[in-house]
Amino acid sequence: MKPSLLRRAAQADVCLLLEGTFPYVRGGVSSWVNEMIRSYPELQFSIVFVGSREEDYEGAAYALPDNVVHFEAHYLYEAAPADAQPAREIPGDAEAFARSAALHDAWRNHGAADAGVLMADMVQLIGDNAPLSEEQFLRSRAAWDFIVDQYNRYCTDPSFTDYFWTVRIMHKPLWQLARVAQQLPPARVYHTVSTGYAGFLGALAHYRTGRPLLVSEHGIYTKERKIDLLQSQWIRDNRGAFERDISRISYFRELWVRFFEALGKLAYDAADDIVALYEANRQRQIADGAQASRTRSIPNGVDVDAFAPLIEKRAVRARNVVALIGRVVPIKDIKTFIRALFIASRSMPDIEGWIVGPEEEDPSYALECHALVQSLGLAKNVKFLGFRRLDEILPQVDVIALSSISEALPLVVLEGFAAGVPAITTDVGSCRQLIEGSGDEDAALGFAGSVVPIANPAAFAQAVLELLGDEPRWLAAQQAGIARVRRFYTKKQMIEQYRVLYQRLTAAPTRAGDADGRAAARGGCPVHHGAVAGTPAQSQGVN
């Protein structure tokens, strides 16, 4: 850890729980976190960063603002030190595991209403010297019997060995997070910007302290993890050719998906307020188990005054530059952008495609993208620029491209609008709302670009050619984007809405317990096999 991150404090106003984002990884979520902290100089923040392994992060990408008084980082997939003690069986607490089984059954039954109450009861059993300690899970006869029972009842994969070790790998981070929660400096409110591991930690902090928990999601974590899991190559499927049903995903893949669904439901149950970026995501949160009365939408906002001077700096359009500004990772579908540029270059030979963003998160994918550019003969058209300052890039860009297969409300599109740059996006998240407007007043402003299907290079190329090749259309799209961001998506609007939330939550009394069974003393790590499991945390917060 660099010296600039070594900050310690006994307490804070707001504790931010961040998985795989600020301050180590650049992107939309990290940029948002940085701006949020700096927007409330009157508040003291502590930050808990949760990542995969320390070696996966190349130092801090952001300097900590002055009002960050405490910082700590925890890595969930570091190699464990060798255990000097010989393995030995311990009896285990059968009653504790029975209560754990009841909790898992509630989760398995699509997040039954009593899961929150069961979790509140469970926390008294969690801890290094408690009936559901990590040692109990790893070495007790009760844990072994429970795993065998769950395998026999639910597992459709023939390998018990893979099931056994998958369960162990899944649960390792949860006990580590339970220990982190026990040692956190007190805060008046805990704020997690995702569910997942950070959301689990937020739930533990809330249950242990009785202080409010705020959950704000840029994307829907469970949806994004499901995409990752369905694409992953490391999950085993031991079924034979005649045992496989191609209409169903493998058991272990499904197990990981249910794990993150359960973590999401746990965070929602613990939260006092749950924020989505736009209405469709708020409805998705409700469908995933969030109580509707606790949900609200607060869209991202940008500092339009800071971007306004970039409009005047724009060069006369001559170069036909299309820029994809984002991380070079599969979820951004950089390859579709490259293929679209290949198609467009046949009709517009001087077109330039700039890929502006870090490549270190998924080096193998970045190499594949570079190789694709070379194989298509696009070295003169497509440039990888790495991380660059937006105020340097945007005045030189004619169109913002977003080819992602999943997004929420992408800041880069709003930033482009504020700088006078229209956008072409895939039909994901709130992109259609940003391009075409939502509601009569918004829609009357006009289209700020185009929306195309996911993973369709030909459609993307056609939209690029139509926008760049029609000057009146481009100018109308530019004006629509500028008007939309200034009317509906300003940083001032966003900051004020979060200020109201922070003021209410930090002033709330510590809750010793309430009617729905959520108690101040609760928190900890459930043991669940048929319902949940986990995956490395590096990718959290989709930026």
pLDDT (tens digit per residue) in 186-223:
999 999 999 999 999 999 999 889 999 999 998 777 77
And the tokens for 188? 């008046």
Residues 180, 316 within the same domain: no
Is the pLDDT reported for residue 40 higher than 70?
A: yes
Is the pLDDT reported for residue 225 higher than 80?
A: no
Residues 263, 400 within the same domain: no
Among residues 542, 540, 543, the alpha carbon closest in space to that of 48 is found at 540
Question: How high is the pLDDT of residue 320?
Answer: 94
Residue 513 resides in a domain = yes
For residue 259, CA distances in Å to 103, 238, 263, 265 come to 13, 20, 6, 10
**187 phi, psi to nearest 5 deg:** -140, 155
Q: Which structural domain, as residue segments, surrounds residue 134?
A: 1-80+90-301+491-543
Residues 207, 343 within the same domain: no
Residues 207, 272 within the same domain: yes
Question: How high is the pLDDT of residue 82?
Answer: 61
Tell me the Ramachandran region of residue 92: left when phi exceeds 0, alpha when psi lies from -120 to 50, beta otherwise.
left
Question: How high is the pLDDT of residue 246?
Answer: 61
Residues 466, 540 within the same domain: no
Residue 253 resides in a domain = yes
Domain count within the chain:
2
Residue 85 resides in a domain = no
82: which DSSP letter?
P
Is the pLDDT reported for residue 119 higher than 70?
A: no
Confidence band of 403 (pLDDT split at 50, 70, 90): very high
Q: Of 177 and 122, which is predicted with more confidence?
A: 177
Residues 107, 131 within the same domain: yes
d(CA 322, CA 474): 13
Residues 400, 501 within the same domain: no
Mean pLDDT, rounded, for 294-318: 90
In this predicted model, what pLDDT tens digit does every residue of 324-383 receive, in sequence order?
Answer: 999 999 999 999 999 999 999 999 999 999 999 999 989 999 999 999 999 999 999 999
Question: How high is the pLDDT of residue 243?
Answer: 62
Report which secondary-structure segment, H or E, holds 50.
strand 45-51
> What is the CATH classification number for the domain harbouring 357?
3.40.50.2000
Residues 237, 381 within the same domain: no
Residues 328, 424 within the same domain: yes
Q: Of 471, 488, 505, which one is at a domain's C-terminal end? A: 488
Question: How high is the pLDDT of residue 4?
Answer: 60
Residue 329 resides in a domain = yes
Residues 112, 260 within the same domain: yes
Residue 420 resides in a domain = yes
Question: How high is the pLDDT of residue 6?
Answer: 86
Residue 242 resides in a domain = yes
In this predicted model, what pLDDT tens digit does every residue of 430-486 receive, in sequence order?
Answer: 999 999 999 999 999 999 999 999 999 999 999 999 999 999 999 999 999 999 999
d(CA 54, CA 60): 11
Residue 160 resides in a domain = yes
Residues 116, 138 within the same domain: yes
CA angle 249, 253, 256 (to 5 degrees): 140
Confidence band of 35 (pLDDT split at 50, 70, 90): very high
In the predicted model, what is the mean pLDDT of the chain?
87
Is the pLDDT reported for residue 521 higher than 60?
A: no
Whether 88 and 139 have beta carbons less than 8 Å apart is answered as yes
Residues 421, 432 within the same domain: yes
